[in-house]
Structure 1
Amino acid sequence: MTTQPVHDPRPLFAQAVDQAEQQITAVRPDELSNSTPCADYDVRALLGHMVAVLRKIARAGAGGDARNVADVADGIADTDWANAFTQARGEVEEIWADDALLDRMITLPWATLPGRTVVDAYTHEFTVHSWDVAAATGRLGELDPVLAERALDAFAEFAPPESRSGQGPFGPVVQVSDDADVYTRLAAYVGRRP
């Protein structure tokens, strides 16, 4: 009898976070007030949200209450976003290096899920937010299409249009042409207006 290898979502998560980090590093201080496709955030607030998400992942992985972490990190100097992101990422990688976390139930502000599912979900969130930053700063050509394909497949499974209430992070699907690039289709699927 052959057993299937167990899926480790951390390498793909690292790719998505690498991409996010590249986008954050490229942001200039004069771009921080640009609006983003993520309606609640300008670039500064979106970067603060991305740092906060890493802090939530670390807190939840360490067994703490991620609800106590603000949705947007503040108090970060305009020239220090990349450093803040890298520091938060290091904490996530240290905590989530423990293989046992992948099979443990992890409590997040919005659900309690197996660790593997948590890592997958945040992989796709970082993929979308990388597009948000790239769209707001004119760097769309720098994104990895493989990450978008994986995110689009995942969102179709766990955030189908018929299950959306309009109260969460996903708006109604926006119609785009069938030949649109994968990031445009991903953005439209999660309710952005590319």
Structure 2
Amino acid sequence: MSTLDLRPAVRATAAVVAAVPEDTLDRTTPCPDWSVADLLDHLGGLAVAFTMSARKQPLGMTSGPEVDGSRLEDGWRDRIAAALHELGDAWATTPGAFEGRTEAGPIEMEAGEAALVGLNEVVVHGWDLASATGTPYAADPAAVATCRAFVESFDAPGANDGSGLFGPRVSIADDASDLERLLAAVGRRPDWTP
């Protein structure tokens, strides 16, 4: 697990964040009930949370994060992109980041698993954001393969009815790409458009 490098994935998602057109903030996203602004707020928050997770610094959260796109301030592109880069750097440079247990938001888990959860969030939400805004997304193939193996390694309760960690799995073509297979496994329709 210590060879997992989140930096290529965060670079790809940070590039999408930096290119989000201002006039797309109110658009819908593949995330139910979230606008583009809400998704950006979530990305900024998860970047901070998983950076602290790598450093074994508790957030002191008792429940999941609240998402509110109205909190986006002037300069949000730079702030969120910088937070994403810090996330990747924290997992790459913090001694012992992948060892022991850590917090991921309000949940305690093995550090290596937290890194995988964070990576999956970055990769999938990078696609969500790109799809909602019409922004190009160059998903890192190694990150996609790692996320796909992680998501498909367990049959989470509710995987087919939407009551689990993700939405109901989506059927896709036999010749689907790794990214499309990952998206389908987490309940996304790869052909989704706003």
Q: Quick one: which of 58, 64, 73 aligns to 1:63?
A: 58
**Counterpart for residue 123 of structure 2:** 127
Rounded to whole Å, the distance in 2 between the matches of 1:185 and 1:53 is 23
SS at match of 2:97: helix
Tell me the amino acid that sits aligned with residue 57 of structure 2.
A
Rounded to whole Å, the distance in 2 between the matches of 1:90 and 1:137 is 21
Rounded to whole Å, the distance in 2 between the matches of 1:19 and 1:37 is 18
What TM-score, normalized to structure 1? 0.80
Instruction: Please tell me whether the aligned partners of residues 59 and 65 of structure 1 are also in contact (alpha carbons under 8 angstroms).
Output: no
Q: Count how many residue pairs are aligned between Structure 1 and Structure 2.
A: 185
What TM-score, normalized to structure 2? 0.80
Structure 1 residue 129: deviation in Å?
0.6
Higher helix content, 1 or 2: 1
* Paired residues for 1:75-94 under 5 Å: 75-77=71-73, 80-89=75-84, 92=87
Instruction: Please tell me whether the aligned partners of residues 14 and 81 of structure 2 are also in contact (alpha carbons under 8 angstroms).
Output: yes
Is structure 2 residue 21 aligned with structure 1 residue 18? Answer: no
Instruction: Please tell me whether the aligned partners of residues 47 and 84 of structure 2 are also in contact (alpha carbons under 8 angstroms).
Output: yes
Structure 1 residue 140: deviation in Å?
4.9
Instruction: Please tell me whether the aligned partners of residues 148 and 182 of structure 1 are also in contact (alpha carbons under 8 angstroms).
Output: yes
- What is the alpha-carbon root mean square deviation over aligned residues? 2.6
Is structure 2 residue 145 aligned with structure 1 residue 152? Answer: no
* Paired residues for 1:32-181 under 5 Å: 32-60=25-53, 61-67=56-62, 70-72=65-67, 74=69, 75-77=71-73, 80-89=75-84, 92=87, 96=91, 97-109=93-105, 111-140=107-136, 142-158=138-154, 160=155, 164=159, 166-181=162-177
Structure 1 residue 112: deviation in Å?
1.8
Cα gap change, 1:142 to 1:107, in 2 (>3 Å): closer
**Structure 2: where are the runs of 5+ without partners?**
none
Q: Which moved more, 1:68-77 or 1:19-28?
A: 68-77
Structure 1 residue 68: deviation in Å?
6.8
Tell me the amino acid that sits aligned with residue 112 of structure 2.
R
Tell me the amino acid that sits aligned with residue 104 of structure 1.
G
Structure 1 residue 94: deviation in Å?
6.7
SS at match of 1:152: helix
Rounded to whole Å, the distance in 1 between the matches of 2:86 and 2:189 is 33
Structure 1 residue 29: deviation in Å?
0.3
**Counterpart for residue 182 of structure 1:** 178
Instruction: Please tell me whether the aligned partners of residues 172 and 191 of structure 1 are also in contact (alpha carbons under 8 angstroms).
Output: yes
Rounded to whole Å, the distance in 1 between the matches of 2:50 and 2:137 is 28
Tell me the amino acid that sits aligned with residue 185 of structure 2.
Y
